[in-house]
Amino acid sequence: MKYILMLKKRLELILKSLEVKKANTELIKMISLFRVHLRLLKGIGSSSIIDLARE
């Protein structure tokens, strides 16, 4: 939850920026970071389920 709120705040700051090009680059970076974060969460979730199944 905290991570999502942080992303939202950063996104608002970026949107307020007058430099549209810079904002777009930052947005692309944020989206890719968020995707990586989601993959990590999914990875952690599935590996812990596999570990539980083994026990």
Report DSSP letters for the chain, one per residue: -HHHHHHHHHHHHHHH-S-HHHHHHHHHHHHHHHHHHHHHHHHHHHHHHHHHHH-
Answer whether residue 31 shows pLDDT above 80. yes
Would you state the pLDDT for residue 4? Answer: 84
As a whole number, mean pLDDT of residues 17-37 equals 78
28: Cβ contacts below 8 Å, ≥ 6 apart: none
Residue 19's pLDDT band (cuts 50, 70, 90): low
Crossing angle between the packed helical segments 20-54 and 2-16, to the nearest 10 degrees: 170
Do residues 23 and 14 make contact, with C-beta atoms less than 8 angstroms apart?
A: yes
